[in-house]
Amino acid sequence: MNPVRPITLLWSLRSLCDLACPSCYFGDPLIHQIKPPTKVGQLSHISPNDLKRREVLAFVRTLKDSAVGRIFVAGGEPLNWPGILETLKIIKEAGIEVIVCTNGIPLTRPVMLQSLLDVGIDAASVSLDSTDSAFNDWMRPDPKGEHGWQDVVDGIRALLAARAVDGPRVGIYTVITRLNIDQIPAMGRFAADLGVDYYVPQPIALEDDHIHHEQLSLRPEDTSALSDAFAELYAAGLPLTLPAGTYPSQVTAGVPRATTTVKGCFGGRTLHFVQPDGTIWDCVSSLRINATPASAHRTIRGQSAAELFPAPTGCASDCPLASYECVNMWPLMDFDRILTPASRSAA
């Protein structure tokens, strides 16, 4: 990470997505049509308040003078938004690393694929939840029934085939539920066979009152299977980068869903979470979002990145509100290992 620009943004750029994953942290669009979300910081695929294209562009033009050095562009599905390529181009011209988090389907579109290469994205993290296409498409359904597992794999293959040697890193993210723990090593092997550069199994994060919590959330009785699956993955010696060796124990430690303290947390210091309406939070933890007083609520709307995100000073503070939702932030904040693996830095 650029020491002069140590700040990472996780930016849920847009709400819309062509998949309707029932466990997505954006919630279920059908439910939200009947009962729109009311909680502070709660995301929705149906969001009338998303920033307008001109507001997004005005903000990204101010990034070059800020301490932001890396942006994870997510959604919704960021690659389906008409303003995406212009936005990515401005981010890259500001000297900022950009990782596109995508459902993978847009990578099957040759024009989109070439445009991403031309813009010079640093990595693409593609979501795929199983080697079993039926399970994946159950977890990640297309309401129109047009796209699924095969398109995602085709998209990954297309990107791998089209990139130059120094082109973007390509990775797979798999959501781990109590129904696909066995996929931790299986998806690792599959990712390696495809030839991707990195693989991140991320535990599902669902609130206690989510309709799929009982069915999908990991439970304490799953931790032994979880540890074994991670051990098998890390022992396999696969030719791809995995999260740091401390990650499996961070995942299992999060399963009991206890609130803990993280010493010197990056949340709100070198990590900020931006929502489609422009709201900025310290991190994704709903505990921390709920604990943020209204007087401290911030937005990128109409603001300059240099003022919002100057170089951090002083020491990082401890966060007593770490929760199971924070686990997915560790690989994100350790992305140097992925963008500059030993094999690349030695070259």
The contact set with ligand SAM (CB under 6 A) reads 17, 23-26, 74-75, 77, 101-103, 127, 173, 175, 202, 204-206
| Residues comprising the chain, all counted | 347
Reduced to 3 states (helix: H, G, I; strand: E, B; else coil), residue 59 is helix
- Shortest distance, position 102 Cβ to ligand SAM, whole Å: 5
Indicate the residue among 90 and 251 with the shorter CB distance to ligand SAM. Answer: 251
Task: Identify the DSSP state of 320.
Answer: E
The minimum distance between CB 200 and ligand SAM, in angstroms, equals 9
Using the minimum distance from each CB to ligand SAM, give the nearer residue, 25 or 135.
Answer: 25
Pairwise CA distance, residues 307 & 31, whole Å = 38
Residue whose CB is less far from ligand SAM, 268 or 276: 276
Q: Which residue number, 203 or 268, has a Cβ lying nearer to ligand SAM?
A: 203
Least distance to ligand SAM, CB of residue 314, Å: 32
Looking at the Cβ atoms of 63 and 105, the one nearer to ligand SAM is 105
Report the amino acid identity of residue 317. Answer: S
- Least Å from the CB of residue 101 to ligand SAM: 4
Q: How far is the CB of 23 from ligand SAM (least distance, A)?
A: 5
Q: How far is the CB of 9 from ligand SAM (least distance, A)?
A: 14
Q: Smallest distance, Å, CB 29 to ligand SAM? A: 13
CB 155 within 8 A of CB 126: yes
CB proximity list for 15: less than 8 A, separation 6 or greater: 26, 43, 44, 45, 46, 47, 50, 75, 76, 276
Closest to ligand SAM by CB, 94 or 105: 105
Compare residues 145 and 293 and give the one whose CB is closer to ligand SAM: 145
DSSP 199-250: EEEEE----TTSTTHHHHS--GGGHHHHHHHHHHHHHT--SSB-S-TTHHHH
Which tokens go with 164? 């130059």
Ramachandran assignment for 156, one of left (phi > 0), alpha (psi -120 to 50 degrees), beta (any other): alpha
Nearest in space to 321 (alpha carbons), one of 275, 282, 273: 282
Strand partners, 8: 70, 271
How near is the Cβ of 4 to ligand SAM at its closest, in Å? 28
Assign 37 to helix, strand or coil: coil
Distance in angstroms between the alpha carbons of the first and the last residue of the chain = 18
Closer Cβ to ligand SAM, 76 or 278, answer by number? 76
